[in-house]
Amino acid sequence: MRAFWSSAWEIIEIVLISVVTVFLIRNFLAQPFLVSGASMEPTFYNHNYLIIDEVTYHFRAPQRGEPIVFRYPNDPSVYFIKRIIGLPGDRVVVRDGKVTVYDISGKAIPVTGETNGYTDVKLGADQYFVLGDNRYNSFDSRNWGPVPKKDIIGLVRLRIFPISEFEVVKTPAIP
């Protein structure tokens, strides 16, 4: 009987350690994210399963061009995935189908891809301007304004599903 309880206790210990480890990783290091919709096509498609790095932004600021997951500023229970176009202090102008970012020094940074709408916004401290890669079919900062840094969950690091498209996600030099 003693051998039974000893074996049972070992199994319980393994299960508890596993549960605590998964909890810590999922809540503090990385978490899965399922893409819903077409706003990030052709980079990410509906039902792509991604892994989000929640640690990097504790050590450095988000960078232009990075795909991020964040809480929708008007409803924190909703999560979005978009690409960072404008950084704190930038001025973002969307006009005549083009996006232009003026950095803090006033230098114009053209952004690739055509778009619709009109926006002219100066970003404050800890504000980021985000756009979907599928600009004509994206609900983004053009519609509801900048994303505060506090709402950013993390950086997209891996696409793990579908398996045939498994990859480490790279950030383009200029979005």
The string of pLDDT tens digits covering residues 69-83 is 999 989 988 999 999
Instruction: Please give the pLDDT value at position 116.
Output: 81
- Write down the CATH superfamily of domain 2-165: Umud Fragment, subunit A (2.10.109.10)
Taking only the tens place, the pLDDT of each residue in 106-156 is 888 888 877 888 888 999 999 999 999 998 888 999 999 999 999 999 999
Catalytic residue numbers, as ranges: 39, 82
Q: Helix (H, G, I), strand (E, B), or coil: what is residue 63? A: coil
d(CA 53, CA 50): 10
d(CA 93, CA 14) in angstroms, rounded, equals 55
Domain positions in the chain are: 2-165
159, 44 in Cβ contact below 8 A? yes
